[in-house]
Amino acid sequence: MNNNTKTVLVTGASSGLGRATAEHFHAQGWNVVATMRTPEGDHGLTPSDRMLVTRLDVQDTGSIRSAVAASIQRFGRIDVLVNNAGYGAYGPLEAMSPEEVRRQFDVNVLGLIATTQAVLPHFRANRSGCVVNVSSIGGRIAFPLGSLYHATKFAVEGFSEALRYELAEIGVAVKVVEPGGMKTDFGGRSLAVVNDEGLGEYQPLFRKVLDVLGPLVAAGSAPELAAEVVYTAATDGTSRLRYEAGPDAVQFLEARRSSDDATFFAGVEAQFSPDR
């Protein structure tokens, strides 16, 4: 094993952007720790001298500590942490159970924080490292029926921005990657659609949101494109914080920056209007 080879730990690496990120770093010659809740499942990654596939459930602090320890034992160090694990809960807030509310924040925010905390002592001892937090355009703009998801991604943005100042004191960089839509299954494991048809007043909007977001996601970028952005963020050596991933991300975020609230909200309302 080349002791100069750098190591990345990726959460949520069983599919989508997480798997593409693990594969991209590996192709660039890095050691990769690809973590997921069920590593014995069909994830498509092949363990090798430079690829450790192991369990990490961001809702289980014991598994986080074990994965970090296994990474250091196997490769000697961790140079980059990619906090990718997450999902989106969409639906009327009234339909969300307390358990769904807690799970959304546990996975997208508290789990990300816990994983970062577990790696920081190692980074501090080395006086180097990089934390890449996968946010979303949904951390800068919001769409109807995504109140929980957007709340968590807005939280990741604020967490990352504040942490950037803090970790600069120990030589550690913080980066945020903001993908737009990616070519994944809209109803798959990364999305939890919650509805209560008894809440009749929300049903026209609910149907319209599914009609609009489905094609937007299907027309999005390949996860491999976003993985390249993650790699750039982790390796460019700059103090830049945010990286947009995908043409739609660039388009949406530029529209948000160039519009006042009233103008932007009117555009979103027109796009998601049940009457259109």
pLDDT in tens, the chain (276 residues): 445 799 999 999 999 999 999 999 999 999 999 999 999 877 889 889 999 999 999 999 999 999 999 999 999 999 999 999 999 999 999 999 999 999 999 999 999 999 999 999 999 999 999 999 999 999 999 999 999 999 999 999 999 999 999 999 999 999 999 999 887 654 556 789 999 999 999 999 999 999 888 887 777 889 999 999 999 999 999 999 999 999 999 999 999 999 999 999 999 999 888 876
- Integer Rg of the chain from CA: 19
Given the residues 15, 136, 153, 231, the one annotated as active site: 153
Structure tokens at 211: 């009609």
Given the residues 6, 14, 90, 149, the one annotated as active site: 149
**Within a domain: 2:** no
**Within a domain: 74:** yes
**Within a domain: 22:** yes
**Within a domain: 95:** yes
**Within a domain: 276:** no
**How far is residue 203's CA from residue 92's CA, in Å, rounded to a whole number?**
9
The yes-or-no answer on residue 149 being catalytic is yes
Q: Give 201's contacts (C-beta < 8 A, 6+ positions apart).
A: none
Range of the domain at 47: 7-271
Q: Among candidates 131, 74, 82, 85, which has minimal Cα distance to 110?
A: 85
Domain count along the chain: 1
pTM: 0.93
Say which CATH number the domain at 231 has: 3.40.50.720
Q: Rounded to 10 degrees, what is the CA torsion of 192, 196, 197, 199?
A: -130
**How far is residue 44's CA from residue 15's CA, in Å, rounded to a whole number?**
8
**Within a domain: 109:** yes
**Within a domain: 1:** no
Q: Among candidates 251, 260, 9, which has minimal Cα distance to 130?
A: 9
**Within a domain: 160:** yes
